[in-house]
Structure formats: C-alpha cells, structure tokens
Amino acid sequence: MSKPFTVMFSAGEPSGDQHAAHLFLELKKQLPDIQALGMGGVKMAAAGVDIRYDSAAIAVIGVVEVLKHYGTIRRALALMQRLVAEERPDLLICVDYKEFNYKLARFAKQQGVKVLFYVSPQVWAWRAGRVRQYGKAIDRMAVIFPFETAYYEAENVPVSYVGHPSVDKAQPQRPKADDLLAFGLTADKPIVGLLPGSRANEIKRLLPVMLAAAVQLRQRLPDVQFILPQADAIPDALLADYLQSVPIKVTVIKQQPYDVIQCCDTVMTASGTATLEIALLGVPMLICYKLSPLTYWLGRWLVKTPFIGLPNIVAGKSVVREFIQHEASADNLAQETGRLLSDNAYAGHMRTELADVKARLGQGGASKVMADLVVAMLSGRA
C-alpha cells in the first residue's frame, strides 16, 4: 500500500489558524489517512494537525512589534525550515503571514518541496512587484478575492480563486433569541459589540479607547449594553486589567464570536478579517486601528489603497467609516456608534451596502474548493 500523504501547514496568525483548520477538516473527508503537521494554533490542533510550533508567540503586526519579537520569529522560521528538510512533506501549505511564509516557501522550493500559498499577500495595496518574487517561491497561489487573480495572471504565476473562507465560517450556532437569553442581554435595549482584535498588542492599543467610548455612550444612552467576544489567543488576565478599570459592565463571551455579533445593533471593531465577518452578518460597524508611529508612517508611504477595511476594499468605496491612528479617539468612536444606534436611515443604508459586499464574496465553499486544489496538487493534476 502507498504511504499516506503528509502536508505541512504554516499559519502564524489566528485567522490563518482558522483557515488551515477548516481546510484540513475538508481534506480528511477526501483523504481520511492524510497526515498534517506544522505551525499553528488551537483550532488546527483541534482539527488534528500535529502542532510543532504554537504560533501565538509570533502573532504580531507592525514594524516595531516584529522587531521586538525578531529573535522569536527567527527561531520559529529556523524550526519550520528544519521540519521541511527533515519531514519532506508532500506539500507545504503557507497560510497568509506573508513575510515569514515567503522565506519558508523559498526554502521549501530549494528543497524540492511543492508549495501552495493560501491567502495572497495584499499586492494590490502595496509592492505589486512582489508578485514575481512570490511566483519564484511557490507552485501555486490560492486567492480569496476574485480581483486578485489578475495580478498573478499578468506575471504568469499559477493562481486559483477559491473564495473567501469567512463566507462559510461566519455562521451563528443558535437563533438570535436563544443567544440573547444565553448572554443575559435584553432585546429591546441597544447592544454594542466591542471587537478590539485577536493580538495582545491590538488589545493594548484599542480596548482602552473602545472602553472610553463605551463610557461616553452610557452617559448618553443609559440602557446601552456592551458585549465582547474574547479571541482564543487573548488571556483572561489581559482583558481583566482593562475591564476592571471602567464603571460599565461588559459581558465577555468565549468561542462564540458569530453568535455575539448577530446580537449586536452595531460594532466597534479592529481592522482585519473580523470586519468582513461582521459584514457577512449584516451588522453596522465602525473600523478602527492604531499602530506604532513608525509602522503607521511606513504604511502611509507604502500602501496605495485608500482603505484598510476589507468591506470597503471589496466594495471599492467607503461603506464603513474608518478611524485610523489619531482619528481612533474615544470621542470619534462614541459619536459614530451613537449615530449608528440613533439614525435608522444611516444604519439601514450601511446594511444595504454590506449586503452587496456579501453578494460580491459569492456562495461560499472556499475550504472545499481549497481541499480539491490540495488533492489535485498531491496527485499531480495541478
């Protein structure tokens, strides 16, 4: 009998951990004996991937943050390179985490290991010339937005549009009425979601501002309720340090982000995959983000797109207001959230625009399409 296929995953962030986990679960439906190892988090481990390096230690974003963790990131890369050379997987699947995975992919190609890159770097936002570099380091790019294929086709890099995995993921587990009851929320009083991110540095920069905005909102709307879905990678103690210092109640819920979001009338959210998931659930929102001054300055210089929020990028226009760096103030967040709660026409228009964003992302099935692509590459058909 032939040896079962072995794939290696490299996912450095919570969103990549989720994408890889869903992909591996789909893969096992087609290839029950397939084995997987690599770098990831709790969701990949739960799906059956043999985690050789916990990515929680390197889930950082921004120039300063990367420099602070440079030694840890370098050791993680060395470990993954050694695993590629020693384990010689049938396929290396790099999930997002662009700079790290570019270096790992390039090493794997030198070792004669096939590479599939899942979730394209945002070459449409900055450094479009890197498409050629990635083309030399990988065997195929799997993109999650339909407009991304043109960038790779122009450079003759093999590319497949697989759809966005969040279309399938962003599904509540229970009816809204059941969630309201389970979370201790009152349906006839406004509910505001706080989504400060899935990384520790995001919590430190954004949660204090969101909480200050929440305090302002409570003064204007005494009945307003606040709820926060806690990301898997965020420890209880980190949230507690901030929540204990404010004179308002914030209900914290673990491992049920989509049930939390569907209960909300509006959401304050960090930029990232969560913005698209909120859009898919049709909930009005604002997007905010803060970076180190150096990272922000470099971003202003390098990034070519006028938006950072994925709903706005997909729509090609401003659908959701973005508050970046100094604009991400408690006053601004409180004012915009208050408008979304009180101006029905304004909130209704945003819901209509978010429904269009959802339609642009297609019918789902990305993990299944990705699994088909992996099987084709393993069998030599792609």
Domain of 327: which CATH number? 3.40.50.2000
pLDDT of amino acid 359? 92
pLDDT at 65 over 80: no
- 29 and 144 co-located in one domain: yes
- 331 and 217 co-located in one domain: yes
Asked if residue 51 belongs to a domain, the reply is: yes
CA distance 226 to 366: 32
Asked if residue 169 belongs to a domain, the reply is: no
Contact predicate 110/103, CB 8 Å? no
pLDDT of amino acid 294? 61
- 52 and 155 co-located in one domain: yes
94 alpha-carbon distance from chain centroid? 15
- 258 and 278 co-located in one domain: yes
Asked if residue 86 belongs to a domain, the reply is: yes
pLDDT at 298 over 80: no
pLDDT of amino acid 70? 72
- 16 and 135 co-located in one domain: yes
CA distance 273 to 366: 15
- 13 and 103 co-located in one domain: yes
Contact predicate 239/246, CB 8 Å? no
pLDDT of amino acid 230? 94
> Confidence class of residue 382 from pLDDT cuts 50, 70 and 90?
low
What's the Cα-to-Cα distance from 27 to each of 58, 131, 238, rounded to whole Å?
Answer: 26, 28, 36
pLDDT (tens digit, 9 = 90+) per residue, 11-40? Answer: 988 889 989 999 999 999 999 999 999 999
221 alpha-carbon distance from chain centroid? 32
Asked if residue 15 belongs to a domain, the reply is: yes
- 142 and 193 co-located in one domain: no
- 231 and 370 co-located in one domain: no
Asked if residue 71 belongs to a domain, the reply is: yes
pLDDT at 302 over 60: no
- 94 and 224 co-located in one domain: no
Domain that holds residue 63: 6-163+365-378
- 148 and 182 co-located in one domain: no
Asked if residue 171 belongs to a domain, the reply is: no
Total structural domains within the chain: 2
Give all strands of the β-sheet with 35-40 in edge-to-edge order: 50-54, 35-40, 6-11, 91-95, 115-118, 140-143, 159-161
pLDDT at 260 over 90: yes
Asked if residue 170 belongs to a domain, the reply is: no
- 95 and 208 co-located in one domain: no
Asked if residue 142 belongs to a domain, the reply is: yes
pLDDT at 210 over 70: yes
pTM of the model: 0.80
- 348 and 373 co-located in one domain: no
Question: Which one has a higher pLDDT value, 152 or 125?
Answer: 152
